[in-house]
Structure 1
Amino acid sequence: MADPIKRVQLADGSVRYRFVIDIGADPSSGKRRQKTHTFDRKRDAQAEYARIRHEVGRGVYVTPSDATIAEVLDAYLVHASLDVEEGTAANYRAALLPVRARLGERRAQTVVEQDIDALVEWMLTSGRRRGGKPGTGLSARSVALTLGQLRAALNLAVRRQLVVRNVAMDTRIPRAARKADAERRAARTPWQDAETRKFLASIAQDRLHAPVLMLCMGLRPAEVCGLPWADVALEADPATLRVTTTRTIVEGRVVTKDPKSAAGRRTLPLPDVATAALRRFRQTQAAERLAAGPAYDASGFVLVDELGQPFKTDQLRRRLYRLMETAGVRKVRPYDARHACLTYLAANGVPDVVVSAWAGHADLSFTKRVYVHPDETHLAPAAVALNHLLTHA
């Protein structure tokens, strides 16, 4: 077999060693591709020729490329966003912002594991740019979301032969950061039953009493904001509401859409107190519409202001925080009312399958793992049962 390394003498008399090698077919056109390499020393040319031939034979050869990490992320986001909701795609983009800030201009093929480890350390200590004080550390959960998206992006880059390997695959979040994050989450507890009752008693005469009751019934804020009067059957027996629409904010825009899953699309019977509150709210809105005349926006949503304009989720959150302050109760996220509701149902004997269906979840274990938070007040029946056992031992 002829030696693939050719001796080339240049015009100035110097000698180089060159080879031309097949590197496989072009993925888009299927045409044969070749690569030419030139070296000062023959042994360097021989080593590179052997390496390329071996990698081409294994199907893992990657052509040298100037593609940056930002370009890799762009290609991934196009691919990953093909069949997901707009809000999910926005979450992917947001999760990858720290990677763009730290590594976006780097050539993808020059990034190594140490760079990913340094990225994680930077995010945990000073990577926050929004949602809090800039320059502080992100939570371990946020870092994990970013790392997961980066791994997925690099996996795609490997498949498309843009990089040799996924250098983020073995990076881990330090145990101390994960432990501190878990402790912070554990300290952020939903209201106990007494706190919920105190808050509801305080706002019984407030204009937003009915929407707040729906939050305390376990509806998501986006479901409350997206509920139309057409999906509320107050004259039925029992009265019901149907969850068919959500309104949420995606990158500063209001997006009205269907629930994420078939399980999220559900019909819930209304407790009597919620039925009465919704009837009062409907009467209030009728009076407001009459008073406003042509200025009234008949949007058809349940949660609207005095001129009929539908609420956004951030507007609802701000109003709730003011109500909590006035009521003198502990400030919790609006979403925590959902956690408190599902915990109450689970602790009061409602079967798991019913709790999950009420929440709009298809996975029973997910409901129990994420949304049910028993505290010391819920453990009392266990003490009573044990007392019976130990007394009659």
Structure 2
Amino acid sequence: MGQQRKRNPNGAGTITKRKDGRFQCAVYMLQPDGTRARKFAYGKTWAECDAKRRELLAKVDQGVPVPTKLAKLSDWLPYWLDNIVKPRRKLSTYDKYEAHVRLYLVPMLGSKRLESLSVADVRRFLTHLENRTTAATAKESHRVLRTALSAACREELIARNVAGLVEPPRAASRELSPWTLDETLDFLAASRKDPLYAAFVLAIAMGLRRGELVGLRWTDVDLDKRVLYVRQQTQQTQRRRGVLYDDDTKNRRNRALPLPALCIAPLRWHRMRQVAARQRAGESWDDGGYVFATRNGRPVEPRNMYRSFTRVAQSAGLRVIGLHDARHGCATLLTAAGVAPRVVMEILGHSQISITMDVYTHVVQDTQREAISHMDRLLKRRPVVKDRPR
């Protein structure tokens, strides 16, 4: 009786010979959507096919998903958002990525398969999107696509990231025009009676972001030691239909900042007004501990804070700027006062010094002009002194 051939154990795949003479292996593989399906590979010889079977089994052991057919971008991008971006990134980042996937990437590139997506496809997509919208939007969509394809590379679904081989569009930087010192003083004088006066003082004097102002709690403010802690921010996005949610600070960088003396009195006055509002509200008060709250204790909506800022500026006869431009004005005043860029970076919470220098180059230009003017004095031609008669 001949020796019986051993069968592969369950889960180890199978190898069969086809009618055309080639060998075919089949292995159950994990799919990007979490299901399992059979993946086929082929070889001219049994040994070649067995080598491919072992490669597939190695990916099974590693938990690497391998699609049984080339996945389309319309399949991969939603999977990437829900399983990779959402668990690890901030909600605001997820919202931004989801909007680009839903509005641009899936409608314009969704039918392309991951492996067949080419550099030319990406370049045509960016050109069309830039003509249809703006260079800034096309640049951001390029960044989202590049990030999604990098994740596909890490999961070994594709061999290379074609989006990384395409140069993104160049978006023109927005011209910054913060208020001058006189305009800033006029605004502060006009906003003294506004319920959000303390918020405007913090935005101008400390450069806090709008979300950081809205998310500020009384536990983050120590008026006795004159320290303010920036630990979180409150966001509001259209994707979440106006629902406010707390999030980490930008770049996840908490910071402790000394409070300028001019911020102490407005904050004390604001706290007294809030105590009176809490007594009037009674049981309807929602005690979330927010510094800037509505008459019921809920956090102020970010867009309402901007509306109040704009209304005060218009009533004072000032040119209307964004609330975020008050942050630029803070950097302008600090730089004009001779504060080192590294210190400005820490106060504003930038992740890199290059961001501080790039955004506020227009502030540095005045300082450079003053420094260069010294060269006229230093290199001015020395007057010729005639020899005195002997």
When normalised by structure 1's length, the TM-score is 0.73
Structure 1 Cα separation of the partners of residues 145 and 354 of structure 2? 28
Equivalent in the alignment of 1:145: 140
Match of 1:349 among 328, 338, 342: 338
Match for 2:147: what amino acid? A
Equivalent in the alignment of 1:319: 308
Deviation at 1:212, TM superposition (A): 0.5
Match for 1:244: what amino acid? R
For residue 310 of structure 1, give the secondary structure of its aligned residue in structure 2: coil
Within-5 A mapping of 1:28-67: 34-35=40-41, 65=69, 67=71
CA contact 1:215–1:338 (8 Å) conserved in 2: yes
For residue 322 of structure 2, give the secondary structure of its aligned residue in structure 1: coil
Q: Does 1:242 align with 2:229?
A: yes
Give deviations 1:27-51, integer Å, cap 9, x for gaps: 78999964469xxxxxxxx9xx9xx
CA contact 1:352–1:364 (8 Å) conserved in 2: yes
Within-5 A mapping of 1:88-107: 88-97=93-102, 98-107=104-113
CA contact 1:242–1:265 (8 Å) conserved in 2: yes
Equivalent in the alignment of 1:210: 198
Deviation at 1:141, TM superposition (A): 3.3
Unaligned segments of structure 2, at least 5 residues:
1-16, 57-65, 383-390
CA-atom RMSD, angstroms?
3.7
Structure 2 Cα separation of the partners of residues 261 and 166 of structure 1? 25
Deviation at 1:186, TM superposition (A): 4.3
CA contact 2:142–2:168 (8 Å) conserved in 1: no
Within-5 A mapping of 1:84-233: 84-97=89-102, 98-126=104-132, 137-138=133-134, 140-160=135-155, 162-163=157-158, 165-174=160-169, 178=170, 181-182=171-172, 185-216=173-204, 217-233=206-222
Q: Does 1:255 align with 2:213?
A: no
Equivalent in the alignment of 1:129: none
Match for 1:69: what amino acid? L
Give deviations 1:342-367, integer Å, cap 9, x for gaps: 23212321123322221234533332
Equivalent in the alignment of 1:273: 262
Deviation at 1:24, TM superposition (A): 8.9
Structure 1 Cα separation of the partners of residues 200 and 107 of structure 2? 39
Match for 2:249: what amino acid? P
Structure 2 Cα separation of the partners of residues 142 and 371 of structure 1? 23
For residue 106 of structure 2, give the secondary structure of its aligned residue in structure 1: helix
Give deviations 1:84-120, integer Å, cap 9, x for gaps: 2222233332333310121224444444333222211
Match for 1:71: what amino acid? D
For residue 163 of structure 2, give the secondary structure of its aligned residue in structure 1: coil
Equivalent in the alignment of 2:22: 19
Match for 1:19: what amino acid? R
Deviation at 1:173, TM superposition (A): 3.5
Equivalent in the alignment of 2:387: none
Match for 1:222: what amino acid? G
**What is the aligned length?**
344
Match for 2:203: what amino acid? L
Change (3 A) 1:35 1:360: closer
Structure 1 Cα separation of the partners of residues 21 and 161 of structure 2? 31
Change (3 A) 1:266 1:31: closer
When normalised by structure 2's length, the TM-score is 0.74
Structure 2 Cα separation of the partners of residues 305 and 67 of structure 1? 49
